[in-house]
Each structure stands twice: as C-alpha cells, then as structure tokens.
C-alpha cells in the first residue's frame, strides 16, 4: 500500500482546513494510506516512511512558516533518502498578491533539492493549492484535487 504524508503548519486553522481537504482527495485513491500531521508532530522517520509528502504552510512574508522550514532544515540529516518520492505543496495567505506562489515555490524547491518528483498542473494552480484567508469551497476543491492527483501519481510510481 502506498503511503501519503500530509504535513502542515497552521496558526489560524485555515491551512489545517486545507490539509484535511487534501487528505480527503488523496483518500479517494484506492490502495493509498493517508496520514495527516502537524509539523511539530512530524519526524524525519515520518518523511522516510512516506511514498508521497504534501506540505502546507501559511504564507509569511512570501515564505513558508518557520516551523515548516525548521523541519526542512533538519531534513539535511536524511539528504538523498527522499529521492524519488512524490512531493506537493499548499498554502493559505492573507490576501491576493501576498506571496502564495513564492511560498509554494519555496516548498517545492526544497523537494527538488531532495530529488523528489513534483507534478505541475497545466491549466491552473500550477504550483499547488492556495487559499486567501479561510478557504472557500472552490479552494477546498483545489485541495482535494491536489491530494487526489498526488496520490494517483504516488500509486503509479509505486506499482
């Protein structure tokens, strides 16, 4: 069975809502086990055990949160061991043009440095799912789709 880990940080609950929507989408794919964890409850062993890792963070000054960055910084201890795993990202921000894309890219850059596989999206929301403040139903649907697309890719690569 393929395993997806969804790691998130959330101060206001907005990114947490997105994390559970991502999980809902991933669970639509049969043969995939989905685990959702807050970043401060996530270990390097959790990252190693997953076939796919989806990370979510609020946007702070156009970047991921310090807590998520700390986990990524700690992951230098397992550098090279995440290679070939699938990665994806999501974020919530305080408004439009406030750094959501740069936050997503900062997360995806770290995944690429680890040798992970990141699937883009051609038609819209190219880098991942993003919401402005409390995610509305459309934004939550993008999260579900992100989870489903990532889980589908993980399952294809696992078999």
Whether 157 and 85 have beta carbons less than 8 Å apart is answered as no
User: CA-CA distance, 148 to 159, in Å (whole number)?
Assistant: 17
Tokens of 110: 């770290």
Q: What is the pLDDT of residues 116-138, one digit of tens each?
A: 999 999 998 999 999 999 999 99
Q: Are strands 86-93 and 32-38 parallel, antiparallel or unpaired?
A: unpaired
Report the CATH fold assignment for 2-158.
Rossmann fold (3.40.50)
For 79-153, where are the E strands, in sequence order? 86-93, 117-118, 129-132
Pick from 7, 54, 55: nearest CA to 149: 54
Phi first, then psi, for residue 129 (nearest 5°) are -90, 140
Boundaries of every domain in the chain: 2-158
For the whole model, what pTM was predicted? 0.97
Angle between helices 100-113 and 66-74 (to 10 degrees): 10
- Confidence band (pLDDT; 50, 70, 90) for 81? very high
- Residue 95 has a pLDDT of 87
- Residue 132 has a pLDDT of 96
Q: Cα Rg for the chain, rounded, in angstroms?
A: 14
């Amino acid at each position: 069975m393929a395993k997806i880990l969804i790691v998130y940080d959330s101060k206001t609950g907005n990114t947490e809502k997105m994390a559970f929507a991502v999980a809902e989408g991933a669970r639509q794919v049969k043969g995939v086990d989905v685990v959702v964890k807050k970043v401060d409850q996530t270990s390097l062993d959790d990252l190693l055990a997953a076939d796919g890792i989806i990370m979510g963070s609020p946007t702070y000054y156009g970047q991921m949160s310090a807590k998520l960055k700390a986990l990524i910084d700690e992951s230098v201890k397992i550098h090279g061991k995440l290679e070939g795993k699938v990665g994806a990202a999501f974020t919530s921000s305080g408004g439009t043009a406030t750094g959501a894309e740069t936050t997503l890219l900062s997360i995806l850059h770290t995944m690429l440095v680890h040798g992970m596989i990141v699937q883009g999206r051609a038609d819209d929301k190219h880098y991942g799912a993003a919401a402005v403040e409390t995610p509305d139903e459309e934004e939550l649907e993008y999260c579900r789709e992100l989870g489903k697309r990532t889980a589908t890719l993980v399952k294809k690569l696992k078999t």
